[in-house]
Each structure stands twice: as C-alpha cells, then as structure tokens.
Amino acid sequence: MKLLLLEDDDLLAESMKDTLKEDGYVVDWAASIREAESFMSTESYVLTIIDLGLPDGSGLELLERWRKQGWQLPILILTARDTWEDKVVGLRGGADDYLTKPFHMSELMARIYALIRRRSGGVANILSVNGIELDEFSRRVSVNGGCWQELTSTEYRLLRYLMRHPDRVYSKLQLLDQLYSLEQDAADPNLVEVYISRLRRRLGKEYIQTRRGQGYLFVSH
C-alpha cells in the first residue's frame, strides 16, 4: 500500500520512511505543499500524513482544500502543536486523526493501521481470500489452514495489494508502482515476474493467474 508523507523535517521524514517501509508500506515523500499536490494529482494513496507547519503554506489549509475537492482518503495530522484547541481545529478541518511531536514510531504505526482498517471496514489483522490468510501484523501467510510462512517485505506488499483487490487485472507497471516509491530508481518491470513466481511457489499456481498481454490477478474463488 502506498502512503504520502508531507513533512519538511528531513531527518524525521527519513526515519519515518524507513520505519514505514520496514512495515510493508511504499512511501512518497513531499517536503512542501507544492510537491504534495503534484503527487496527489498523479498518484493513488491509501493514506496521507500531513505536517501543519510547512515552508510554503499551512498544512491545515491544504487539508481543508483537499476535503472540499472531494478527497476521501484517511489523513493523519502530525505536528508540534499540542493544545486541545489545535486538535479540535485539525479534526474539524477534516483530519481523521491527530498525533503530536515528539511521538513513538510504534504509536504512529498503530494509528496508521487503525485508520486503514477503519476505512476498509475491517476488524482484524487477518486478510482472508479464497483459503489464503495473510497476517498483516506479522507478514506471514497460510494456505488452507496450513503452516504459517514468513514473507519478505516485497512479497508481502505485492500479495497484500493483490488480495485487497481480488479478481482485478493489474499490469506489471501498475504493480511495480505499488512496490517502489517515485523517488527510487526505476525498477525493471520483470521484477514483478520474479516475485509473482515466488508467491506461486508458496501458495500454489492457481491463486495468482496471468492474463497474457494484460497482467496478473488474484482469484477470489
């Protein structure tokens, strides 16, 4: 899943990106409102993290503008402003949650997970489709109640994306976009074939099907 991080503190942003990537997320980082709006115009995200104090404007005004434009994705405010009045203003402006600096990374991860789970209507950390169970906390997979298998970070991100969008065909480039952030060097689309092959060895060939000339899909039945 892909997140947008809008934070102008380079050191904090790098630390957050590393932690988020370790947990299986793909992160695009913007240090200004201009960059964030550019990302939002071309990319699709499951959640956005916004700092309020930015070099080219107010994160709160950006949040309110996005809500007026109809953006419905979860938005988490991250800021040093810690009074209850600031929190009320942020939440009324359209934020889904509010976390003040300094904070523990574990709390940030828990809040992100809760927001995504709430938006998807889920109540558990086990994603289950067609006999495949994916534990989104431990990044393990089980086939038809069998032993749990550990997944690499990339295997996990790819499988989670396919399982969250079953019966939809995705091209190599679309899947690659979910595996790597925009700032990374362009990856070879053939890497998708490599990871699809690895997942098939773990799950069985029947779960991830190939549509020749189109891409791949995870079958739900």
Q: What is the 3-state secondary structure (H, E, C) of 6-35?
A: ECCCHHHHHHHHHHHHHCCCEEEEECCHHH
Distances from the Cα of 172 to the Cαs of 99, 124, 175, 187, in angstroms? 36, 30, 5, 11
pLDDT in tens for each of the 221 residues of the chain? 789 999 999 999 999 998 888 777 889 999 999 999 999 988 888 899 999 889 998 888 999 999 988 888 899 998 887 777 777 888 888 889 988 888 888 889 888 988 887 776 654 578 889 999 998 777 899 999 889 999 988 899 899 989 988 999 999 988 888 777 545 545 677 888 999 999 999 999 999 999 999 999 999 98
What is the total residue count of the chain? 221
Q: CA nearest 29: which of 14, 46, 11?
A: 14
| Residue whose entry in the numeric block shows the structure tokens 């995870």 | 218
Write down the pLDDT at residue 76.
94
Torsion angle, alpha carbons of 13, 189, 198, 209, to 10: 120
Q: Which domains does the chain have, with CATH numbers?
A: 2-120 (3.40.50.2300), 126-218 (1.10.10.10)
Write down the pLDDT at residue 88.
82
